[in-house]
Amino acid sequence: MLTIGQLAGYVGVTTKTIRVYHAKGLLPEPDRDRSGYRRYRASDAVELIKIRTLAEAGVPLARIRELRAGDGLAAALRRIDDDLAARIEALQATRSRLRRLADGDLSPLPDEVVAYLGRLPGLGFSERWVTLQNDLWLLVFATHPETAHRNFRDQAAMPADPALLSLVLEYDRIHDLDPHDPRVDALAERLVAATRARYGAELPSYERGSAIPALVQGAVNASSPAWHRLDTLLRERLTSATPDPLS
């Protein structure tokens, strides 16, 4: 038979912790001796060790009671492990962003977006294009994170297609052209054909009624009359057969 102090010392917890476990129903109250002191058996020590192990693994006390009382402990622990893995991944991403902030990089964009933007100059894109893309993704991820992730993955896959990459590079390069240059019209035709081939009638979109797509495209158009006219041509030719995803 052990006193509460002896039990705490052997298991490696405090007597206060044991009393908390009693109060929360995790560890049954033992019998008391004639003097009114708790007296613990080996079985109590075993139970306490199991509870301590779960607590040290990060399982909340309320959940420990639930797990200890029911069946399916292994499956429940696996679910907890999955939750912890997701939290660890999120914390690691946070640490990575904190390191970038400490280095003077104030961008809150996800790591995958930062990496993608970092590859663009090597693909032939101008610094102007990369800066614009950075600012636009900042806006989209801040306002529509779920949609942003989906649309970003779609855009990030484009460099793997040489034909699409060539079109986007040409989009970047017509920035300084006269808006009525025949090359603007020719690029619009090729972009419409590529867009219809890639998406069919289901063009990428954001939440209906959102003002963000208009802000994004407005920022693009404002930087170049040629880009503004190209956007106008694309809208006219794409919406002639499909609903406007940006409306």
Q: Confidence band (pLDDT; 50, 70, 90) for 225?
A: very high
Quick check: 148 pLDDT over 50?
A: yes
Quick check: 183 pLDDT over 80?
A: yes
Q: Which of 58-72, 159-173, 227-241 has the highest mean pLDDT?
A: 159-173
- Nearest CA to 168 out of 206, 198, 208 is that of 198
Inter-residue contact 231 to 217 (CB < 8 Å): yes
The pLDDT value given to residue 142: 79
The more confidently predicted of residues 97 and 31 is 31
Quick check: 181 pLDDT over 90?
A: yes
Cα angle value 93/156/216 (rounded, 5°): 90
Lowest pLDDT segment from 30-39, 103-112, 176-185: 103-112
Lowest pLDDT segment from 145-149, 151-155, 167-171, 177-181: 145-149
How many residues in total does the chain contain? 247
Q: What is the pTM of this model?
A: 0.52
Residue pLDDT, tens place only, 72-91: 666 767 777 777 777 787 77
Q: Which amino acid is at 76?
A: A
Quick check: 153 pLDDT over 80?
A: yes
Quick check: 210 pLDDT over 80?
A: no
Residue written as tokens 């989906």?
Answer: 150
Lowest pLDDT segment from 75-79, 108-112, 116-120: 75-79
Quick check: 190 pLDDT over 90?
A: yes
Q: What is the DSSP string of 62-73?
A: HHHHHHHHSS-H
Helices in the chain by DSSP H: which ranges?
A: 4-11, 15-23, 42-56, 61-69, 73-102, 111-123, 127-143, 145-156, 162-173, 182-199, 212-222, 225-238
List, in sequence order, every residue forming a beta bridge with 40; answer none if it has no partner: 2
Quick check: 243 pLDDT over 60?
A: no
Give CA separation, 139 vs 44, 70, 99, in Å. Answer: 57, 47, 22
Rounded CA gap, 137 and 144, in Å? 10
The percentage of residues in the chain with a pLDDT greater than 70, rounded to a whole number, is 85
Name the token pair of 194: 């590529």
The backbone torsions φ and ψ at residue 71, rounded to the nearest 5 degrees and listed phi first, read -95, 180
The pLDDT value given to residue 172: 93
Residue pLDDT, tens place only, 13-62: 999 999 999 998 888 889 888 888 889 988 888 888 888 888 887 788 88
Q: At what angle do helices 15-23 and 4-11 cross, to 10 degrees?
A: 100
Q: Confidence band (pLDDT; 50, 70, 90) for 244?
A: very low
**Coil/strand/helix, residue 203:** coil
Quick check: 215 pLDDT over 50?
A: yes
Q: How far is CA 53 from the centre of its chain?
A: 31
